[in-house]
Amino acid sequence: MRTFESIGIASLGLKIPSFFLDLKDFAQLRGTDPNKYTIGLSCHEMALCLDQHTVVDLALGAARRALMRWKGGLDQIGFLAIGTESALDMSAPLTKWVARELKISGALRSYEVKHACLGGTLALRQAYEWRCSPASKGKAALVIAVDDTLYEASSPGEPTQGAGAVAMIVDKPLIAEIDPCSHSWSYPADDFWRPIGEPYPHVNGPLSLECYNQGALACFQDCCDYTKQTLGGFLETIKGMSFHTPFPKMVQKALGALCDKSEISKGSADKAKNLFLEKVAPYLTWNQKIGNSMTASLWFSVAQNLCGRQIGEQISAFSYGSGCGAELQLLTAGPEARAAAWAEDLQDDFSQRTQLSGQDYDHFRRLNEVLKDGTSKTGLSKDEQKLRQAS
Ligand code: COA
């Protein structure tokens, strides 16, 4: 650990919805070989928001858990940012609903960040840079990454749905120190987008995989240039790697591209496979049970990656957002990583959630289509309608 004042993640809170669908049941519903999803994409389950459960509930659930474990009070939060692509309004930030429920107001910077799945990471970087600056006046930041991902029924993206929220308090590096330098990359691309007023995203899957790999290669190379190591040396010394995870096979392919570039896999494809099994796969098992939670997916993997770490162990966090942009950060485990208090959030949520049958899911999709029609008539998003019904 460094001796000068370092800033990082002081507390973590996780929340997933109370329903899920097994991908084998989904495959049966859609008349597909289940191996396509469980082996081809390496996905097992998808978490689903039903009934009155909204992104606000998920964000609040994660934030309350992070705040409960933090020793500071609400009056010490001076910054609240949410990264999401499940916005409720084109003008008002999602933080409006969350701040109202948490009763945080006053001397506070509160806003929403949008850049597809990169939004949570950008919110975290902004919080970090704010916390390091005199503007924070020593207060802490609360950052939430949250999404509820639904693709059009029967579209290729449908097996890669999911939902969840990760909240992080940025202050003293009790769980992990955030490296001051991060490595970013961006160029305009039409790989994934959701036009205003449309309920589901459009995705050019193969292009999104290509952009993701390019982003990974560029960010890891920039990091190695900065830290003066070879890419092969970096991959061999880093303790664990987390990636944005639309579906785990995408991550494995990106690691394969990194190994090819570093020549780590030269002469033996097993080397790349073993590296994946040792340093990446163990931190994807939560994602395999949650599905693609967009902005939150990287941070679920990071939360799992930090569990039980010794002080000083370094991990990497690679974020990607369509459109497109990427950012690689290094995190160093702090004194509270070993106890991993946040792991109980998901132990509780996984054990209490309800499994849907393929028929239940099909019924839910049909209801959603009705809501979608309502959306075009009322101009309200699905989540906004749920909120109005609930209030
Ligand atoms: N058993 C085992 N594997 C199988 C299989 C079976 N019966 N059937 C297919 N597969 C494999 C395929 O070989 C392929 O693996 P490969 O890419 O390693 O060759 C994988 O399963 C997917 O099959 P594919 O035919 O490519 O699926 P698809 O055309 O239905 O679409 C995606 C796959 C990933 C493109 C689609 O799910 C998608 O668009 N997802 C969203 C992507 C995304 O989130 N992008 C933006 C975020 S950054």
pLDDT by residue (tens digit) across 114-127?
Answer: 999 999 999 999 99
Counting ligand 1 atoms within 8 A of each CB, the residue from 32, 35, 41, 44 with the most, and so the one to mutate, is 41
State residue 214 phi and psi, 5-degree precision.
-60, -45
Q: What is the pLDDT of residue 391?
A: 44
Is the model's pLDDT at 313 over the cut of 90? Answer: yes
pLDDT confidence band for 217 (50 / 70 / 90): very high
Average pLDDT over residues 298-315: 98
pLDDT at 91: 96
User: CA-to-CA distance for 55 and 87, rounded, in angstroms?
Assistant: 9
Q: Write down the pLDDT at residue 342.
A: 98
Distance between Cα 206 and ligand 1 center (Å): 9
| Residue 15 DSSP SS3 | strand
Longest CA span, the chain: 62
Q: What is the 3-state secondary structure (H, E, C) of the chain?
A: CCCCCCCEEEEEEEECCCEEEEHHHHHHHHCCCHHHHHHHCCCCEEEECCCCCCHHHHHHHHHHHHHHHCCCCHHHEEEEEEECCCCCCCCCCCHHHHHHHHCCCCCCEEEEECECECHHHHHHHHHHHHHHCHHHCCCEEEEEEEEEECCCCCCCCHHHCEEEEEEEEEECCCCEEECCCCEEEECCCCCEECCCCCCCCEECHHHHHHHHHHHHHHHHHHHHHHHCCCHHHHHHHCCEEEECCCCHHHHHHHHHHHHHHHCCCCCCHHHHHHHHHHHCHHHCHHHHHHECCHHHHHHHHHHHHHCCCCCCCEEEEEEEECCCEEEEEEEEECCCCCCCCCHHHHHHHHHHCEEECHHHHHHHHHHHHHHHHHHHHHCCCHHHHHHHHHC
Question: 318 with 257: CB under 8 angstroms?
Answer: no
What's the CA gap between 160 and 382, in Å, rounded?
Answer: 19
The answer to whether the beta carbons of residues 14 and 146 sit under 8 Å apart is no
Least confident of 128-137, 172-181, 371-380: 371-380
- The per-residue pLDDT for 102 is 97
What confidence category does residue 4 fall into, taking pLDDT thresholds of 50, 70 and 90?
A: very low
For the chain, where are the E strands, in sequence order?
A: 8-15, 19-22, 45-48, 77-83, 109-113, 140-149, 162-171, 176-178, 183-186, 192-193, 202-203, 240-243, 314-321, 325-333, 354-356
265 lines ligand 1 (CB under 6 A): no
1-5, 24-28, 350-354: the lowest-pLDDT one? 1-5
From 36, 43, 117, mutation site for ligand 1 pocket: most ligand atoms within 8 A of C-beta: 36
d(CA 328, CA 223): 8
Evaluate whether 324 touches 215 at the Cβ level (below 8 Å): yes
Ligand 1 atom 12: the closest Cα is on which residue?
Answer: 40
Total Cβ atoms within 10 A of residue 263 = 12
Could you tell me if the CB of 38 is within 6 A of ligand 1? no
The structure's pTM equals 0.94
**Cα–Cα distance measured from residue 281 to residue 362, given in angstroms and rounded to the nearest whole number:** 31
Q: Ligand 1 within 6 A of 320 CB?
A: yes
What does pLDDT average to over the chain?
Answer: 93
**Which pLDDT score, from 0 to 100, does residue 383 have?**
59
Report which ligand 1 atom has the smallest distance to the Cα of 246: 44
The length of the chain is 391
pLDDT tens digit sequence for 256-302:
999 999 988 776 778 999 999 999 999 999 999 999 999 999 999 99
Using the atom order of ligand 1, give the atom closest to the CA of residue 159: 37
The preferred substitution site among 42, 192, 200, 203 for testing ligand 1, maximizing ligand atoms within 8 Å of CB, is 203
| Tens of pLDDT, residues 341-377 | 999 999 999 999 999 999 999 999 988 777 665 554 3
Question: pLDDT at position 389, please?
Answer: 52
Residue 340 C-alpha to ligand 1 middle, in angstroms? 34
Peptide bond into 324 cis (omega under 30): yes
pLDDT at residue 199 greater than cutoff 50: yes
Q: What digits encode the pLDDT tens for the residues 80-111?
A: 999 999 999 999 999 999 999 999 999 999 99
- The predicted-structure confidence for 40-72, as pLDDT tens digits, reads as follows 999 999 999 986 678 999 999 999 999 999 999
For residues 172-198, average pLDDT: 97
Q: What pLDDT, on the 0 to 100 scale, is given for residue 264?
A: 83
CA of 158 to the centre of ligand 1 (A): 11
